[in-house]
Amino acid sequence: MIERESRERQRKVVQVVVGFLSAAAAFEEIYQAYRQGSLSFAKLESFVDDRGKSLFFEVKEVCHALFRRNVSAGMEKEQLFDLAIGTIFHEAMKLREDLYQIETYGGKYRQLEAKDGRTKYEEDFLRQLRKIFHRAEVRLNEEMEETHSLFRETAEQLKTLLADFGSNGLLVRFLHENVELVQRVFGGRGVEGLFDVMYPDGYPQSLVVAGRSYLESARFDKAHECFERAAERGAKDPALPVLVPYACGMALSYGASYEEALAAFQEAIPRISEHAEGRTLLPLAVRALRRLAPEMRMRGRNDLAHRASALAEQAEETLA
């Protein structure tokens, strides 16, 4: 039960991070459109609303559900991040209202201003409209700059918060899979800079964490890719000599590259048997080898089938 709750929390943390990064990138586009004089209400409408039909409403709700209700000691960073998200939401809602007013009634205001022979009532009304529109334009500019600044500050705050989620493999996978989005929001060294905050060994260590998460999801090809890159980048994890050939063998066996898979398992099994973490991998390796043996026989490679069966028996003896 506790493990299931922990995994559910990990998924929600990923939702928050995905939502914030997507929203930060979307707002940057809104901000640039405003600066260029091409921002429309329709673009802002899909970004924020109070009816649950916009990107940032969803971010706010998920963040509140995850962090606002967590009043445990030591969770101040989470609650501060939640407060920042709430502040951005309310600032963006003010933006939305002012832009709506300017866009919806601006045409009528300009039409009345261009009219010749206005009545006294129309003159008085136009004078009031000028004040209203001037205030709305001033507020819109101030709110746009304030919201832009809040997003930048909250992105930096998120960096600090991510340091607490280094064990969240799902999150690390998302960051690796969305390098471009991370770069757009954080700039600088992008994802590598984030992993420097999250891990003592930085980027190489993050690859090992992502690889283990892929293993848990039976994404053996992705796991092997991560472990190989981690080894190339000098990761210090002592399990890598086991994880690289194991993930390679599993990926190749599922990809029907049976001879290559057997070669990888021949390298992996002796190492797995001598490693504490590796022993937890043996049952899956045995099943893969048992599946390889008949496939080899069907191809007339009885020698390889025998080696696969012998390796499976060797692994089973270790488990006994």
209 and 295 fall within a common domain:
yes
26 and 76 fall within a common domain:
yes
Four-residue CA torsion sign, 50, 52, 57, 62: positive
Residue at a domain's end among 107, 138, 165: 165
Mean pLDDT of 202-225: 96
123 and 217 fall within a common domain:
no
| Residue-range definition of the domain harbouring residue 284 | 201-319
161 and 19 fall within a common domain:
yes
Per-residue tokens: 276: 């504490």
Residue at a domain's end among 137, 165, 193: 165
Confirm whether 8 is domain-assigned: yes
Statement: residue 156 has pLDDT above 90: yes
Confirm whether 173 is domain-assigned: no
92 and 217 fall within a common domain:
no
Domain count, the chain: 2
Confirm whether 116 is domain-assigned: yes
Cβ(222)–Cβ(254) below 8 Å: no
Per-residue tokens: 89: 């939401």
The total number of residues shown for the chain amounts to 320
Mean pLDDT of 77-96: 95
Whole-model pTM: value is 0.87
Q: Which letter does DSSP use for residue 1 in this model?
A: -
23 and 148 fall within a common domain:
yes
Confirm whether 297 is domain-assigned: yes
Statement: residue 70 has pLDDT above 80: no
Q: How far apart are CA 287 and CA 291, in angstroms?
A: 6
91 and 7 fall within a common domain:
yes
Q: How far apart are CA 45 and CA 30, in angstroms?
A: 11
Encode 114-137: b = buried (16+ Cβ within 10 Å), e = exposed: eeeeeeeeeeeeeeebeeebeebe
